[in-house]
Every structure is written in C-alpha cells, then in structure tokens.
Amino acid sequence: MTEYPIKLYENEEFQRCAGHALRPGGLDLTRKALDISGLAAGSRVLDIGCGCGKTVEYLGRVPGMLALGIDISPEMPALARRLNGAQQIVVGDAGRLPYADRSMDGILCECVYNLLEDRSRALAEMDRVLRPGGRLMVSDLYLREKRGEFPGLPLATCINGIAARETVAGEIGAAGWEMVAWQDETPVYKQFVAGLIMTYGSMAAFWESLVGSCQKACAMQDSLKNVRIGYYLSVWGKRPGRPGAANGEDRR
Ligand SMILES: C[S@@+](CC[C@H](N)C(=O)[O-])C[C@H]1O[C@@H](n2cnc3c(N)ncnc32)[C@H](O)[C@@H]1O
C-alpha cells in the first residue's frame, strides 16, 4: 500500500479553498445524485469517505433523511463537527464497514473511489450494507485521454487513481452492480481547477504550496500534460437476480 506523507484532502488551506466540500461539484452534484437515485424521505444514507462532513450535514437537513458518515482519517470526525456541525461520523475503512447487512438505503462515495486501495473489497462491503433496491452513488475523476506516461503525483490525491470510464464501469459492474446512470460532469472539475488557479495564481503554485519545492511542482504539472482528466457522476443498483439483489425488488 502506498503511504504518502502528504494527503491533499488533509491540507487545511486546500480544505478552506474548497469550501470544506473536498471535491468538484460540491453539494449541487450531491443533490443531482440524490435526484437520480430517487431515494425517498426516511432514507438512511451512508457517506463513505465523508471528509469534513459537508454532505453528511446537508443530508441531515433533508427532511426525514438519516445521514451517517465514515472516514479513514482519524481527524475527520472532529473536523466535521467543528466545521460543519456534522455529528454522525465515525473513523473506519470502506473495506470494513461497521454496519449491519442491508441496513442502508443509499451510499454516497464522493471523490473517494480513486483513493481506495482495494476497490473490490470496498464494493463488496457496500453491497453487503446496502438493502436490495438501494442506490450506490459514485463520483470521481476519470481519464478522458492519455497522451503519454503518467507516473502519478507524489501525494495522496484522487488524480492518482484515475482510470478510463470503461475501466471504472467494468470494475463496479464486475462487483455485481448495474449502472443506473453515468453522467460526464467535467465542467465542475474545470470550475474547481479554475478556483484553485484564482486562489494560488497557477496550478504549479498550488502544487508548490503542498510539496514545498518549485522544481517538484513544475515536474508534477508537466506530467499532468499527459492526461486529460474529467469528472463523472454515476448511480448503481444491485444487479437483479444476484443473491442479495432480490429480483424485482431492485427497481423503484
Ligand atoms: C477527496 S476527499 C473527499 C471527502 C468528501 N467525500 C468530500 O467530498 O468532501 C477523500 C476522503 O476519503 C477518505 N478515504 C480515503 N480512503 C478511505 C477508505 N479506505 N475508507 C474510508 N475513507 C477513505 C479520506 O480520508 C478523505 O477524507
């Protein structure tokens, strides 16, 4: 497992700049995901990799919705309470969820999928805790085009886990999920990057604020020229006919 000394999403300056929703699209994309998923009032929704708890706090304000969050970073629950007033957050790993079988109506995974070391294990855990007919909502960066070598960046960021749409859809599909929706949301990624440039002056200056060296930052920015990055929002249900998917029950 790659342990990076620097984790982008744990950087306070980045958190502040991102408005404590540590992903492109913010709550607008969360609302879109919920609309597509059609989750009813009274739904119990788990936000995996909830970060500063922006989504958990938002979901908690949706009438009748019960929101829970889990994050592997030990500092996130306290941060989420302090910054967003989000309470129901525990420390834990997506690959070992501390919840009962079929206990959730919805699962959100916002800008977390690319960070998961063992995606098939995490997907199996999501499958276990989601009830038949429930919805899994995944959004993250994806690879739109590769023009040359991209060795990855020397810090923990969703950029390192990018893969093409076919690869991501293949992985999630192979874990027994059926795609309900896949939307390209690249404009929100561009907006996010533009916000960083407006704040730091350039992307190289942003990377330098994290890695502390101008040379390293320029090399990072240079390697990024080899990939065209996009952003997606996807919604999944358990494939009918599988154990746990309960034929017919799987559709709303
Ligand atoms: C880019 S941040 C996104 C946070 C939040 N979803 C948001 O959109 O504001 C990624 C988060 O995923 C968490 N994370 C990474 N690997 C994880 C895992 N295996 N299990 C649970 N959380 C994880 C990180 O600690 C971090 O808070």
- Share of the chain residues as helix, strand and coil, in percent rounded to the nearest 5: 40, 25, 35
| Ligand 1 atom index nearest CA of 23 | 8
Instruction: Work out the number of other CB atoms within 10 angstroms of the CB of residue 228.
Output: 14
Domain that holds residue 36: 8-140+161-185+231-238
Distance 247 CA to ligand 1 centre (A): 32
pLDDT digits (tens, 9 = 90+) for 206-228: 999 999 999 999 999 999 999 99
Give a yes or no: residue 81 inside a domain: yes
Give a yes or no: residue 199 inside a domain: no
- Cβ of residue 94 lying under 6 Å from some atom of ligand 1: yes
The pLDDT assigned to 218 comes to: 94
Give a yes or no: residue 207 inside a domain: no
Q: Kindly report the backbone phi and psi dihedral angles of residue 242, in degrees, each rounded to the nearest multiple of 5, phi listed first.
A: -85, 155
Give a yes or no: residue 153 inside a domain: no
pLDDT digits (tens, 9 = 90+) for 6-63: 999 999 999 998 988 999 999 999 999 999 999 988 999 999 999 999 999 999 999 8
Give a yes or no: residue 136 inside a domain: yes
Q: Which of 27, 113, 115, 138 to mutate to test the pocket of ligand 1 (most atoms within 8 A of CB)?
A: 115
pLDDT digits (tens, 9 = 90+) for 130-183: 999 999 999 999 999 999 999 999 999 999 999 999 999 999 999 999 999 999
- Cβ of residue 155 lying under 6 Å from some atom of ligand 1: no
d(CA 249, CA 167): 28
Give a yes or no: residue 197 inside a domain: no
Give a yes or no: residue 134 inside a domain: yes
Closest protein CA for atom 13 of ligand 1: 49
CATH number for 123: 3.40.50.150
Per the structure, the count of domains in the chain is 1
Enter the DSSP assignment of 245.
T
pTM of the model: 0.94
Give a yes or no: residue 119 inside a domain: yes
Sheet holding 44-48, edge to edge: 89-91, 66-71, 44-48, 104-110, 130-146, 227-238, 177-184
